[in-house]
Chain A
Amino acid sequence: MSAATNRTRDTSGLGVARAVAFVSPALLLIGLFLVFPALWTIYIGLTNYTLTGPASVAPAFVGLENFLGALDDALFGNALWLTLVFVLGSAVLGQNLLGFGLAWVLRSAKPVVRRVVEALVLLAWILPSVVVAYLWTAVLDRDGGTLNALLGNESTAWLVEYPMASLIVFNTWRGTAFSMMLYSSALAAVPPSQLETARTVGASGWQTVRDIVFPHIRGHVLTNTLLISLWTANDFTPFLLTAGGPNHESETLPVFIYQQAITNGELGYSAAISFLLLIVNLVVALLYLLLLRRRS
């Protein structure tokens, strides 16, 4: 035990040495499998490392070539654009609006209805992604798919003809639960007296949301949007549904990185792209923490 000079307030009686010993194994694992890879991406991204061939044995340092190459790569531009569309469509609009809508509508629903709907929405969220991918293949398939059966048409291969639209609907279905729960708890914190006041002066539902509810949950909307955008941009599930196809039409960044790294073996190039994704993640996460801190 340290002497009176080092007066840490240590109610557990662990002492700094033992505490460090407790933290170290976890930090070691995090360092090995999270921090080191993140940093190593930078290095790999500056080489022409490949999975096979001569550069797999002796990769050469190529400076910023990979990053410059990305600027000219139409497929990278395509992936970036599709990721943006995917995030805007399924997270910023889809999950956000549907999540809020569900939270708002379910407030006044019968408890049974509320529980059933909530359970289904949550189930969509917690089922493993491989299973979920099959579920939606069954919905969207051309031959005997549920959607075609419902529409009475037998000819639309949704995942082939409208791959991005399909992915956006799918991901809205998949991820709405988080927004719904977040907005439910945010709505519960809106003073009922204010809602009643709005009703007594005859405000419509939309006016109530705009004038009473929105000012209360503005902070939640921002932080929620940041989080679900970050998750959506990093989501690998599109790979399971369309694998980026047809002809790169649904190749979002995660799928692009995978194809470049594993299918094409371009490890250096894909590491450079990963690094860009890491930077975007970092910016979004910092923004998120900043907003959280400001709110509290």
Chain B
Amino acid sequence: MAAIELTGLSTVYPNGVRAVDDLDLSIDDGEFFALLGPSGCGKTTLLRTIAGLERSSSGTISLGGGDVTRTDVGKRGVAMVFQDYALFPHMTVAQNIAYPLRVRRASKQAQQDAASTTSAGLGLAELLERRPAQLSGGQQQRVALARAIAMEAQVLLLDEPLSNLDARLRLEARTFLKRLQRELGLTTVFVTHDQAEALALADRIAVMADGRIRQLGTPKDVFQRPADTFVANFIGSTPMNLLTGTAHDGFVEVAGARLASPDLSLADGTKVVAGIRPEYLAPAAEGITGTVSIVENLGVTSLVTLECPGDVLVGLTVPEHEEPRVGTAMTAAPAPGRLLVYDAETTRLL
């Protein structure tokens, strides 16, 4: 049984923006699911629609098998962590964490118990009497998580929970979040526009654009075989090379080179876009040839930009100790099976 099942779901704002557009999605019980996409693509809206803070215009939402499309917010058994955490500034950490129980008029004892058990699991036991303003960003984030967990909902929604943290803390919080989710086994939907975060954390990822899902799959799928050029462009810490060209005799001709294409039996002259990740391009005797124009140090590797015939720029990564000199010529070829061919018209993977 799916924990979250969305069918034909649309959310339209009063100003006419279709922030979620006819979306179908099924999320499994206990899954850690990431919604990934650029700013304004409708991630927050989708999350809010699931929580019931926005009313869907059409389509249905069911949670744990029950239809909740018309159920009021707060009665859906969904907990949520807001991007700004929304910790109540006038309550202590303990009161914040116990708030979901207070709403249900649980006894003072039950509230205290919930606060101490939940806080212990998140390393907040020492902070129970503080107010949110006296906490660091990372502590606030954990209090917000604790409060959501204390609700004991079947589904946990997280809206960019890590985006307010600095880079270092973010990595720690990421690991922490993953461990916590595993321990609790909570179905978790996680919104982010950071592709690395999604790849690192999620069991499955949905890449969104303009209120629709562009690709749905495991991090591996999405990273290795982006379904269209939009996703290809979006995923990966260095942008994928997307080179326009034509198909010929089972080869694709791009940037003045003929590359062996996967067996697609394309008609001669078909306009295509060849997608190759910089990580999957390596120096070779034959392949794309150009002049080294820029070398950027990325730490363990370096990103080399080649200027190829027709003013095409191609990026590839090389181990840092094999950096070429700027101005020299260089030839590179894709690793076997790593060349992706997209239809230039539909932008879909062929």
Contacts and interface: CB of A to CB of B under 8 A. Distances in A.
Interface of A: 1, 4, 7-9, 11, 13
Contact of A7 (B14, B53, B58, B72): B14
Contacts of B73: 13
B55 interface: yes
16 contacts: A1-B72, A4-B55, A4-B56, A4-B57, A4-B58, A7-B12, A7-B13, A7-B14, A7-B55, A7-B57, A8-B14, A9-B13, A9-B14, A11-B53, A13-B72, A13-B73
Interface string B222-261: 0000000000000000000000000000000000000000
Interface string B53-83: 1011110000000000000110000000000
Contacts of A13: 72-73
A1 B55 CA distance: 11
Interface in B1-55: 12-14, 53, 55
Contacts of A9: 13-14
Contacts of B12: 7
A221 to B, nearest CB: 39
A12 to B, nearest CB: 11
A17 B153 CA distance: 30
Interface residues of B, number: 10
Q: Is the interface of A mostly helix, strand, loop or mixed?
A: loop
Contacts of B13: 7, 9
Interface pairs A-B: 10 shortest CB-CB? A4-B55, A7-B14, A4-B57, A7-B55, A9-B14, A1-B72, A13-B73, A4-B56, A8-B14, A9-B13
A11 B82 CA distance: 14
A8 B57 CA distance: 12
Contacts of A8: 14
Contacts of A7: 12-14, 55, 57
A4 B58 CA distance: 9
Contacts of A1: 72
Contacts of A11: 53
Nearest to B14: A7
A11 B54 CA distance: 9
A8 B72 CA distance: 15
A7 B17 CA distance: 13
A8 B55 CA distance: 10
